[in-house]
Structure 1
Amino acid sequence: MPRASGPLTEALARRTVLLDGGLSNQLTAQGCDLSGGLWTGRVLDERPDQVRAAHTAYARAGAEVLITSGYQIGPGHPRAAALLRRSVDLAARAAEAAEQEVWVAASVGPYGAVLADGSEYRGRYGLSVRELVAFHQPRIEALLDAGPDVLALETIPDPDEAEALLTVLARTGAPAWLSYTVAGGRTRSGAPLPEAFALAARSPQVIALGVNCCDPADVLPALEAAAATTAKPLLAYPNDGSVWEAATGTWHAPAGEAPWPTAAWRRAGARLIGGCCRIGPDRIAELGADVRG
């Protein structure tokens, strides 16, 4: 079945849509080397067939949205534009081969992801909104050249960076979702969630907003804060509750993983549900059963 036949917004008006899971853990499971500052971008550059295989694994698990692999590709890379376009093409090929309708979401990671030092979990980079606009605009333009269905403005730690991204988005008119990474009822930079979500809710290009790459326990309070500011569809794709240590490049796993309260997330307004880091195809298949139920 070739890609998705209608806009993602139409599907979200009718039902909950299943996102994919963590790309990095799936590439690791496939034997790929993610060392170095580019992370999944290294595989995108050196072994694109493995990126397509990872997308295919999630599509076979039932994912209806595939998020592309250019999260850490910044404008400083000598082939940034080509790699970003390649990331969309690889996901689109996997989508076209899927048995179900599948949308392609072009990943636009935060400035901190390109630094590869964990800054996306802190924010407040010391840059102005104008400087962040200059950083993100060429990335977004390159991604849109490849024709994704939607932009995924994801793992955003800071309303200032959200403002920069929304400024670029307004210039393009493209649809996007925006998801913050959160902890303890605030964005990772410490901003209150109501004002952070209100900023995104005002953008006519934002078709959904919510959280990703956070502890599952932080999802429901964040969704409730978002629902208090907007009637737009919400989204949630947390990690497994592990904590990333940038200095060593390792995850510290939680002692035990509780079942995700996806029914409560849906009651709060979540219409896009999936997983982020350390959530693989098997878990996405389980989430699909929950979503369909």
Structure 2
Amino acid sequence: MPAPRPVSTPRRNPVAQIVERFPFMIVDGALATELERHGCDLNDPLWSARVLRDAPEVIRQVHRAYFEAGADCAITASYQATREGFMRAGLEAGEAEALIGRSVTLAKEARDAFWTQHASERRPRPLVAASVGPYGAYLADGSEYRGYADLDIDRAGLADFHRARLERLLAAEPDLLAVETLPALDEALAIADLLATAPVPAWVTFSARDEGHISDGTPIEACGEALDGLPGIAAIGINCTALAHIESLVTRLRRVTELPIIVYPNSGEAYDPETKSWHAGCAHALAPCDLADGLPRWLAAGASAIGGCCRTGPDDIEALALARQARMPG
């Protein structure tokens, strides 16, 4: 029988606090897309985490651009930032840990500078969510989109992998954690155990392969049921997934949880994993063509927070902000 989870003092839920006051919370868009537009080369196993070392000021600029567009939350550049990954790239352990902490610091600096000039506006003070990418992101082998059935790692091993990075990210004092693109429920539960007594909560989002299952084939309802009510879980949802699947996934999640549901899908372009390239055009004839197009459907299905993942940018977030403004009284 598994050991009981420790009971912690209830923490404030920053996602719920925003959606109580506004029609929905706006998450930012893709970091990598914007870094590439600023001239950064991400053809590296570290992906956007490489820029933490090479051009941290560009990351700060991208965060600021999303705040200017209307985002209520910045997701940090730590998705692929792990001590193991940085050390594999030749850095010392201390340097790796400093870069992981820098990811939060850069987003907080961008947020604080922005809010100094915009605090009088009718919008929430933006949050900083420290990104916690999956084990598969560290492997850089695509397993965050298929699961770990072919790998020799169990829930205890996944917890061991995530523990040190979680401690370093929490030490930098983000507003919450963005545990994202998980392909497997076991990984979510391993992280949830580690966060049971953490000082801030986390949202947990899965990558999904169709309208009812996450990437390893687990029904999305099983994920919602397993995470609902656990200490430290602020929201549940889906990210890095095709627009066509979002409405059904949200509907299924809403049946099993009252937690805020957060979605930040891809742009609508289709990704070819063989050539590692994107192709324009909606992947499904009935799918929304962009975030703003899908917004009414996703809200009606029960979504609470909406943003963008791969290939989305500030223009997409601005469209969401304008749509929210139109829904606000007065």
When the two structures are superposed, what TM-score results if normalisation uses the length of structure 1?
0.93
2:308 pairs with 275, 280, 286, which one? Answer: 275
Tell me the CA shift for residue 153 of structure 1: 0.5
Alignment of 1:178-257 (within 5 A): 178-184=204-210, 185-246=212-273, 248-255=275-282
What is the rounded CA distance, in whole Å, between the counterparts of 1:93 and 1:198 in structure 2?
37
The answer on 1:89 being equivalent to 2:89 is no
User: What letter is aligned with 1:186?
Assistant: H
Alignment of 1:1-293 (within 5 A): 7-15=14-22, 16-76=24-84, 77-78=86-87, 79-98=95-114, 99=118, 101-124=125-148, 125-184=151-210, 185-246=212-273, 248-255=275-282, 258-259=289-290, 260-292=293-325, 293=327
What is the rounded CA distance, in whole Å, between the counterparts of 1:50 and 1:10 in structure 2?
30
The superposition leaves residues 45-97 of structure 1 with CA deviations (integer Å, 9 ceiling, x where unpaired) of 11000110111111111111000001011231233321111000000011112
Tell me the CA shift for residue 42 of structure 1: 0.8
Tell me the CA shift for residue 13 of structure 1: 2.4
Contact 1:224–1:268 (Cα < 8 Å) also in 2? yes
Contact 2:158–2:190 (Cα < 8 Å) also in 1? yes
Contact 2:136–2:142 (Cα < 8 Å) also in 1? yes
What is the rounded CA distance, in whole Å, between the counterparts of 2:179 and 2:282 in structure 1?
30
Tell me the CA shift for residue 250 of structure 1: 2.4
What is the rounded CA distance, in whole Å, between the counterparts of 2:127 and 2:28 in structure 1?
11
Contact 1:69–1:87 (Cα < 8 Å) also in 2? yes
Q: Which runs of 4+ in 1 moved over 6 A?
A: none
User: What letter is aligned with 1:102?
Assistant: P
Range with greater deviation from structure 2 (162-171 or 135-144)? 162-171
Range with greater deviation from structure 2 (193-202 or 138-147)? 193-202
What is the rounded CA distance, in whole Å, between the counterparts of 2:107 and 2:207 in structure 1?
24
Range with greater deviation from structure 2 (173-182 or 49-58)? 173-182
Contact 1:8–1:149 (Cα < 8 Å) also in 2? no
What is the rounded CA distance, in whole Å, between the counterparts of 2:322 and 2:42 in structure 1?
31
Tell me the CA shift for residue 17 of structure 1: 1.2
What is the rounded CA distance, in whole Å, between the counterparts of 2:56 and 2:281 in structure 1?
32
Change (3 A) 1:30 1:168: same
Percent sequence identity is 40
Three-state SS of the structure 1 residue aligned to 2:190 is: helix
Contact 2:268–2:289 (Cα < 8 Å) also in 1? no
Tell me the CA shift for residue 255 of structure 1: 4.8
What is the rounded CA distance, in whole Å, between the counterparts of 1:92 and 1:211 in structure 2?
25
Tell me the CA shift for residue 261 of structure 1: 2.3
**Which structure has the greater CA radius of gyration?**
2
What is the rounded CA distance, in whole Å, between the counterparts of 1:242 and 1:133 in structure 2?
33
The superposition leaves residues 169-226 of structure 1 with CA deviations (integer Å, 9 ceiling, x where unpaired) of 1142530101111121200111111101211213121111111110111111111111
